[in-house]
Amino acid sequence: MGSMRRLLTFTIVSAVLPLAHALPASAVTTTATFILQTSSTIGLMGVDATYTDSNPGGYEKMIRWSSDGRLWDYDQTLGSSTYGWRTGQVNGVTVSGTPRQIRLEFYPHPTTTCSGTNENDACYWLTYDPWTATRGGAHVQVESSRGAGWLNVGTVALPTLGVDNAFRMDGDVLSGSSIPDGRLSIDLFQVDCSWHETCGHPPVNDRGNKIGAFASSTNRGARWTGGVAWPGQYIVFIKDHARGIHLHGFAQISASSIPAIDLDAPCFGLDTCVMDQGNVPAASGGFHPTDPVRVLDTRKGWGVSNGMLRFGDGSQSSTNPLLRADDAANHDLRVLGVGGVPASGVSAVLLNVTAIEPATNGFLTIGPRPAGSGDLFDDQHSFGDWPNASNLNVRAGQTAPNLVLARVGAGGRIRLYNYGYPLHMVADIAGWFDTGSSVTSPSGLGFFGVTPTRILDTRNGIGGAAGVARFEVGDDRVIPIRGVAGVPSDAESVVVNITAVDPTGTGYVTAYPSGTSVPDASNLNVRRNQDRPNLAVVRIGADGAIRLTTREAATHLLVDVQGYYAPTSVGTRRTTTMNPVRIFDTRNGIGTSAGRLGPGETRTVQVAGPSGVAGIPANATAVYVNITSVAASAWGWLAVWPTGGQRPEVSNVNWPGGTDIPNMAIVPLGTNGSIQLYNDPAVSGTTSSHVLIDVMGYVS
């Protein structure tokens, strides 16, 4: 059916002067015109006016249009016997008062086979259905600030499938819980981006007005729709009626990039958002190992493209939007859709983070990019209080690594906080955790703790052929894993603490699956004569082994098995990631008595249950913690283990005296949800240290 261009007019009781000018004593009547490219559709038009003094909300007027282009008054009186009926043909629409802004919204009906002018016709009562329509809704906004002629709207076209890049906007809904029809209400409005941003622009009509697509819909099971739309930037309003969570945010959407609405992810998977009601709880899921992949290298512009990581978290007091955007981009790292991590359905990532030769002492904290609050159009809305925790303590001139469990935040990003001078950073993905969504296939692995066991020590030959002598530069040795230290034949990844002892220089160690090529990644950076550990989660090769290789320096190596990831029954041994929380600090008495951990001293650290300080439930079976030794008096080491068990003859944190050294550990919980912390007297017999413990997640 051919396109019909109808001249439709509505009359506004208004002044034609811009808002900044004084209004005359009595407003004059003016006529605003637009041309609706109806394409023989039928439908509804809402007229929304914003006034100088207030905006009462809702439509001031609604009218119907019929396939022949005529306008019909729409009865908006709730409770009347004719509510929603046409009450007569009109040539225009009158809006009282003095609007400064007029917004028109067009809802096409899903059929073109009837006139839509008679309430007795079957199609008269049909409402806009974005699931079946071949044309989408459109909206246009004009403002009095444009001066004379602002009410001449111009031509308004509807998004039509296959015309001007219009496409069907249908996507997935992900959730670890059931998704019945109508659980979600979804409203989308296409908008333009600011002058300093990049996005697909809405169509512009003959009067220079932007015509945006829009839709209102509900989900059908695990699918959502925005109807027929144009590519570009959208404000998306989502209400999860099952949990009472409401939010709205921005998303860039095109035919080749339709986001999944992930109900277990911050911002429901949108690029950025502000919360209108409630908060998205942390998701729990299984582990999916990957081969080590570098996703961040500020030296090469990978992941973060604008140089060294600067001080702070990316917030800016400057009013310059270019500076604000540049600083935010310097601290936000996208981890979804890169390095083998899917673009959706991901709750957290494991990554090895390394600070490269920092200029000064300092520390780094890594957490999710938060959902925002306040004004969505304020690009500082996602900044606020930052966790009182650290992931990596750095010392001037020393390259230092640490494994990090990081919850994925808004836009699939994590945020990097640098408390120190600018520094270069690298990060390597070791795996990711799903959200427990039913669409995740295959399901993720569960964590199993073991009694910490040393399987390699090149100082005394533990580990067979691999342990006969220290690793020289370029050595590459096989370390059997399955069938060793309680690791079963179906384990797919192993959790190992790798410690370098007496390195001959500056270099690094890489752990990777046996049977694969050496990756461009590192697990442990070493420095001459300094003992240093780092936790690693390594995928096990087909032969049941991993490999270790050294670069640029020779060193003795110790490897202690702490646990493994393997298939498990659905919903068990899953990992829940949290924003980092400090639960233990001997400097100020958090979770313990204030005072250094003395030589040979053991303390109990309460983690889970009613007595815990981080909201970890009583059914938690293990915990992901970052343990930091602060200002140790001399060379020494720490060990952690579940309360009620025997202290293992292995270490978790090794340090030279006078330094701050962190290391991550995944520790099974013991009696009453607690763990034990032991400080070895070391060679001096007098070694003491302050100790910090930050929780990043737990297994339940």
Give me the pLDDT at residue 19, please.
28
Cα–Cα distance, 97 to 47 (Å, whole number): 14
pLDDT-derived band at 442, boundaries 50, 70, 90 = low
Q: Is the pLDDT of residue 23 over 50?
A: no
On whether the CB atoms of residues 240 and 246 are closer than 8 A, the answer is: yes
Q: Does position 51 have pLDDT exceeding 80, yes or no?
A: no
Backbone angles phi, psi at 47, to 5 degrees: -115, 115
d(CA 500, CA 550): 10
What is residue 55's predicted lDDT score, i.e. its pLDDT? 54
Question: Is residue 260 scored above 50 in pLDDT?
Answer: yes
Among 57-61, 172-176, 262-266, the minimum mean pLDDT is found in: 57-61
pLDDT of residue 235: 96
Nearest alpha-carbon partner for 51 in 75, 29, 90, 23: 23
Cβ(215)–Cβ(189) below 8 Å: no
Q: Give the SS3 label for residue 232.
A: strand
| 126 vs 247: which has the higher pLDDT | 247
For residue 553, pLDDT over 70 is answered with yes
Give me the chain's average pLDDT, please.
Answer: 88
Q: Quick one: pLDDT at residue 17?
A: 27
48-52, 134-138, 286-290, 428-432: lowest mean pLDDT where?
Answer: 48-52
The per-residue pLDDT for range 386-416, each reduced to its tens digit, is 888 899 999 999 999 999 999 999 999 999 9
Position 323 scores a pLDDT of 94
**What is the fold of 446-566?**
Jelly Rolls (2.60.120)
What is the number of alpha carbons within 13 Å of residue 582 lying toward its C-beta? 18
Phi-psi region of 150 (alpha: psi -120 to 50; beta: other; left: phi over 0): alpha
Q: For residue range 475-509, list pLDDT tens digits in order.
A: 999 999 999 999 999 999 999 999 999 999 999 99
Cα angle: 453, vertex 458, 459; to 5 degrees: 100
Beta strand segments in 280-344, E: 284-285, 287-297, 332-334
Q: How confident is the model at residue 28 (pLDDT cuts 50, 70, 90)?
A: very low
DSSP state of 330: H
pLDDT at 32 (0 to 100): 63
Instruction: Using CB atoms within 10 Å of the CB of residue 515, give its burial: 0 to 12 exposed, 13 to 18 middle, 19+ buried.
Output: middle
The mean pLDDT value for 590-599 works out to: 94
pLDDT digits (tens, 9 = 90+) for 92-135: 777 777 788 888 899 888 666 777 777 777 777 777 789 988 88
Query: Is the model's pLDDT at 10 over the cut of 50?
Result: no
Q: What percentage of the chain has pLDDT greater than the value 90?
A: 67
Burial of 507 (0-12, 13-18, 19+ CB in 10 A): buried
Residues 569-585: tens digit of each pLDDT: 877 899 999 888 999 99
- For residue 442, say if its preceding peptide bond is cis, omega within 30 degrees of 0: yes
**Is the whole model's pTM more than 0.85, yes or no?**
yes
Which one is predicted more confidently, 81 or 697?
A: 697
Give the pLDDT score at 3: 39
Confidence (pLDDT) at 625:
96
Q: Which amino acid is at 688?
A: S
* pLDDT value at 288 more than 60: yes
pLDDT of residue 338: 94
Specify the CATH number of the domain 575-699. Answer: 2.60.120
Confidence at residue 63, expressed as pLDDT on a 0 to 100 scale:
86
Lowest mean pLDDT among 9-23, 109-123, 189-203, 537-551: 9-23
Contact 106, 138 (CB under 8 A): yes
pLDDT in tens, 509-550: 999 999 999 999 999 999 998 899 999 999 999 999 999 999
Reply yes or no on whether the pLDDT at 27 is more than 60. no
Average pLDDT over residues 310-338: 94
pLDDT, residue 18, reads: 30
CA 533 – CA 510 distance, rounded (Å): 13
